[in-house]
Amino acid sequence: MNLSNRRYILSGIIVLFGLIFVARLFYLQVASDNWKAKAAVLTEEKIRIYPSRGLIYDRESELLVANRAIYDLMVTPRQTSEFDSLAFCELVGISMNELREKIDKAVRYSRYKASVLKKQIDPSDYARISEQLHKYPGFFGQVRTVRNYQKGIGAHLLGDFAETNPKDLKKDNYYRQGDYIGKSGIESVYEEQLRGIKGSKYVLVDVRNNIQESLSEGDYDTTAVSGSDLTITIDAELQAYAEKLMVNKLGSVVAIEPSTGEILALVSSPGYNPNLLVGAQRGKNYKVLSTDSLKPLYNRALQGQYRPGSIFKMVQSLIALEHDFITPQTRISCNRGIIGCHGAHSYDDLEGAIIHSCNPYFHQVMKRMVEQGEETSRFKDSRLGLASWNKHIKRFGFGTDLRTDLPGMKSGNVPDPSYYDGIYGELAWAYSTIYSISIGEGELLVNPLQMANLAAIIANRGYYYPPHVIRSIGNEGKPEAFRTPISCGVKEEHFTPVVNAMQKVIEQPGGTARRARIEGIEVCGKTGTVQNDPLPDHSVFMSFAPKENPQIAISVYVESSGFGGTWAAPISALLIEKYLTDSISDPRKEQRILDAVFLGP
């Protein structure tokens, strides 16, 4: 065969294969319905796998917050057929109008994708419903997880876990509509650690959203990673007892372990059972709580701002001692023509002034701090003195957030020169204008956590750790930020006369806090009777125990109940005794507190 013939044969073979390939391609892409159906299957979809949320334990490894299953009832409109809607509504517990609205909404969203018909059905109710669902094609249950607060305590501290809103979705692309997120308290602060990492499963679906098969035999799938468990600093037994004592009272309790800054209890009263804001009744219960005139959702322990009253005299004493404005032996006449006072005393030294809570004494102490004679103008001199005073006060944590890990705390108010300029005008005020802050009144504002922290500072003789609620996250220990002490700028030696006086406030006959005495335990404390015009005064008490090697520092506020030694002091004593001895030696004292009712006007 010559070369020319071979060329024709080779060309013919190439043309033949080309025609066969073109014909097959035409058949597959145009003529064959089988290929069209196969192509329809090749739509990829990602299914999110939700992780288990981390659990929360107290300092003794008692489980406080767990997870429990609930169910959403779903509907896929294209899969439904005619059904007995009246029987269905009776089964599910919704009205006919609600059923129509939900299905219309689902159709508008997608006929082929599932939508929620009814949220958060309790497992016991879903068990009853699921037995009948086979009669209603297109309806099915989808399991979800919500929180279960095991002991029903610590609502303000633990916080709220609820469905995401548009703001949440915009802020973090981790979430999708219908997801849940920590909204307040520990649930919010440690949301990223608690939520875990979502997994995913990739599948191939048809145009009607029916799953056909896994993509690449699951090679691209990822496993969900459970959230980290938290161990927090709260003592569940002390927390529950504090909540019990504060029933039928407006106020708060904050207890801190001085040597670590760990918060042992944090109570705002009135409170509520956190399980009320879980499940199908959440919306109804939230409305009731949010419209209650006693404001049970309001966290008084962190957001309540009160005048500190006579307890503030402890801070004034320590700063004045540190900067040599007074010594423990300094005596000042109780001149009641300058400012009112009470009790039989006339010429106290520092210890006596604290025991008797002498107002003229501390009026003169602060005057020495503010009017130092650095300027000939008393207005300019007062500005300089107040600026220095403000700086020293803030070292005790007042006017700050204390670097705590609890959200929503209000820092209170420690006036500085610019504050009074805004009220009176520049160079239009002097100490004689603002002296009420010398005894913890006037424009000073603190919150109960700051007051408990002051007790911790005095217990430690000069320093504190940022008050916090986290002990460990998963296998990791406490964050370093909570392991570093903060000095208040006063030497340890200056705390001795103050601590001794605080012990005598409780133990000395005639002391203002005799109801805080505990047999066998040296308690140091200071009462506060905080002005609340025109209503009755707030009863306030700050204390720590034992005197040496203190284990607990505490503040108690009982609103509109009168003298600090009458109500706040005995509540504090009961809590200290319960924590240190796990017992109560005086049941009558306890019953008196349990029977008391202070719910405002």
Lowest mean pLDDT among 208-217, 295-304, 411-420: 208-217
Same domain, 120 and 156: no
Tell me: do 170 and 201 sit in the same domain.
Answer: yes
Q: In which band, very low, low, confident or very high, does the pLDDT at 10 lie, cut at 50, 70 and 90?
A: low
Please return the burial class of 556, using the count of CB atoms within 10 Å of its CB with bins 0-12, 13-18 and 19+.
buried
Q: Which residue has the tokens 């705590």?
A: 404
Write down the pLDDT at residue 51: 87
Q: What is the pLDDT of residues 73-123, one digit of tens each?
A: 989 888 888 899 999 999 999 999 999 999 999 999 888 788 889 988 888
Tell me which long-range contacts 125-131 makes (C-beta under 8 A, separation of at least 24).
125/93, 126/70, 126/71, 126/73, 128/91, 129/73, 129/91, 129/92
214-273 pLDDT tens trace: 555 555 677 888 899 999 999 999 999 999 999 999 999 999 999 999 999 999 999 999
Residues 214, 116 share a domain: no
Whether 185 and 407 have beta carbons less than 8 Å apart is answered as yes
Query: Do 431 and 544 lie in a common domain?
Result: yes
Please, are residues 6 and 14 in contact by the beta-carbon 8 Å criterion?
no
pLDDT confidence of 404, banded at 50, 70, 90?
very high
**C-alpha dist (Å) from residue 34 to 25, 31, 155, 215, 216:** 13, 9, 60, 20, 21
Give the domain CATH number at 197: 3.90.1310.10
Establish if 601 belongs to a structural domain.
no
Residue with the larger pLDDT of the pair 181 and 49: 181
> Looking at residues 506-521, what average pLDDT do you find?
90
Question: Residue 531: pLDDT band by 50, 70, 90 thresholds?
Answer: confident
Output the pLDDT for position 463: 98
Q: How many CA atoms lie within 13 A of 170 on its CB side?
A: 3
Q: Domain for residue 26, yes or no?
A: no
Is 121 in the same domain as 256? no
Residue type, 23: A
Q: What is the pLDDT of residue 208?
A: 47
Across 193-215, average pLDDT:
66
Would 5 be classed as within a structural domain? Answer: no
Query: Which residues lie below 8 Å from residue 600, measured CB to CB, with a gap of 6+?
Result: 250, 294, 535, 559, 560
Domain ends where: 97, 126, 144?
144
For the record, the structure tokens of 326 come out as: 């007074």
Is residue 505 domain-shared with residue 529, that is, in the same domain? yes
**Res 176: pLDDT:** 83
Whether residue 15 is contained in a domain is answered as: no
Asked whether residue 376 is domain-assigned, the answer is yes
pLDDT for residue 35 is more than 50: no
Same domain, 467 and 529: yes
Q: Is residue 34 part of a domain?
A: no
Give the residue-averaged pLDDT of 277-289: 89
CA distance to 38, 55, 300, 556, per residue, from 184 (Å): 50, 16, 14, 23
Give the pLDDT score at 592: 97
Domain CATH for 251: 3.40.710.10
Confirm whether 214 is domain-assigned. Answer: yes
Same domain, residue pair 266 and 332: yes
Same domain for 490 and 567, yes or no, is yes
| C-alpha to C-alpha distance for 464 and 276, rounded to whole angstroms | 36
Same structural domain, 244 and 168: no
Question: Between these two residues, 448 and 5, which has the higher pLDDT value?
Answer: 448
Q: Of 192, 210, 232, which residue is a domain's last?
A: 232
Find the domain containing 98 and state its range.
Answer: 69-144
Structure token digits, residue 258: 């001085």
Question: Residues near 20 by Cβ (< 8 Å), separated by ≥ 6?
Answer: none
How would residue 41 be classed by pLDDT, with cut points 50, 70 and 90? very low
DSSP secondary structure of 424-478:
H-TT---HHHHGGGGGT-TT-BB-HHHHHHHHHHHHHTSEEPPPB-EEEETTB--
Name the residue with tokens 């705002």.
268
Is the domain of 114 the same as that of 177? no
Q: Is the pLDDT of residue 431 over 70?
A: yes
pLDDT at 419 over 70: yes
Dihedral sign from CA coordinates of 323, 324, 330, 336: negative
Closest-CA residue to 438 (of 512, 495, 359, 379): 359
d(CA 470, CA 481): 11
Tell me what pLDDT residue 12 has: 66
Provide the whole-model pTM. Answer: 0.86
* Local structure of 492: helix, strand or coil: helix
pLDDT of residue 40: 44
pLDDT at 510: 75
Least confident of 38-47, 358-367, 496-505: 38-47
pLDDT for the residue 199: 82
Query: 152 vs 137, 243, 294, 513, 515, CA distance in Å?
Result: 39, 11, 20, 33, 30
| Same domain for 441 and 320 | yes
Q: Could you report the per-residue pLDDT of 310-350, keeping only the tens digit for each?
A: 999 999 999 999 999 999 999 999 999 999 998 888 999 99
pLDDT tens by residue, 375-403:
999 999 999 999 999 999 999 999 999 99
Can you tell me the mean pLDDT for 524-529?
93
The structural domain count of the chain equals 3
Enter the tokens of residue 246.
Answer: 């504060």
| Residue 278, domain member (yes or no) | yes
Closest Cα partner for 504 from 494, 514, 495? 514
Band of residue 534 on the pLDDT scale cut at 50, 70, 90: confident
Exposure b/e, 23-39, CB count within 10 A at least 16 = b: eeeeeeeeeeeeeeeee
**Alpha carbon distance 107, 183 (integer Å):** 31
Last residue of a domain, one of 185, 206, 232: 232
* pLDDT of res. 533: 81
Instruction: Show the tokens assigned to 480.
Output: 């370093």
Is there a contact between 147 and 67 (Cβ–Cβ < 8 Å)? yes
In this prediction, residues 548-560 reach a mean pLDDT of 97
Q: What is the pLDDT of residue 205?
A: 55
Q: What is the mean pLDDT of the chain?
A: 89
Per-residue pLDDT, 27: 58
- What pLDDT does residue 465 have? 98
Residues contacting 220, CB < 8 A, separation 6+: 200, 202
Is residue 126 over pLDDT 50? yes
Strand partners, 161: 182
